[in-house]
Amino acid sequence: MAEAEASEPVTSEPPTEGEAKTEEPTVTDPLSSSEPEAASDPQPGPTGTENTTAASDPQPGPTTTSTEDTAAASEPLPGPTGDEHTAAASDTPPVPTAENAAAGNADSPADLAGTWHLARNEHFDEFLKASGIGFMKRKVITALHPTIEIKQEGEVFTFTSKTPMGNRVTSFTVGVEYPETNPLWGDKEHRVMPEWQGAKLVQKVVHGPDDKLDRSFEREIVDGELVITMRRGDKSCKRIFKKKDV
């Protein structure tokens, strides 16, 4: 019996598929499993999208659309402003015009050019008497009705006074002192300074034989008439001229 048992082959049932899988689990090789993952997951690097982004995003640098550049381009360099230009322009005497003469503009030099004939006097005889002119000479002076021709070229003036007794010519430049001899001053030479005071042309005596009293001539346009105001100390008179048609 012992031999029979020894010679009988021992058979075993083949494991079922489930048991085989249970008893002999499949061991995954780490190296072999990592290779497919590496193949499917490429190393980081420039992609098509990154290349597109890089191509559309230029390297940093100055651009023409910079806010600072745009502001700098639109902002003018420091220089004279409109106010400085208006101040500089106001320092230059305005050019006399016919409109200033007609309107009597108090801010602009008047246009005195033309031929003017004496129309009337105001307190002229009293003024001559206060100036020391005798009775007979006053009668002759007040009887005259002079015509004055005025040439005005910028700041240069020429006055020509015409009477039956003769003509007298006076030339000067505004702002420049000049000598003048006037019958109302006893035919003595005086130093005169002409200047603009608004629309008035003022000729002021700055030096003469009698410097105790201030003396001046003021010429202006009032309602289309040439008004000459003569002053000597606290005395004054007016001579009004109308413009002659040429």
Taking residues 159-163, what's their average pLDDT? 95
Is the model's pLDDT at 93 over the cut of 90?
A: no
Beta bridge partners of 206: none
Decide if pLDDT at 29 tops 70.
Answer: no
Does residue 180 sit within a domain? yes
Residue 172 structural domain: 98-243
Give the mean pLDDT of the chain.
Answer: 72
CA–CA distances in Å: residue 129 to residues 1, 183, 210: 189, 13, 16
Higher-confidence residue of 182 and 1: namely 182
- Structural domain contains residue 57: no
Q: Is residue 26 part of a domain?
A: no
In a domain, 109, yes or no: yes
Q: Which residue has the higher pLDDT, 210 or 144?
A: 144
- pTM of the full predicted structure? 0.58
180 pLDDT higher than 80: yes
The number of distinct structural domains making up the chain is 1
More confident residue, 46 or 127: 127
CATH code, domain carrying 123: 2.40.128.20
67 domain-assigned: no
Task: Evaluate whether residue 192 is within a structural domain.
Answer: yes
Domain assignment present for residue 219? The answer is: yes
Tell me whether residue 179 is in a domain: yes
Which pLDDT score, from 0 to 100, does residue 213 have? 84
pLDDT recorded at residue 183: 74
| pLDDT reported for residue 201 | 97
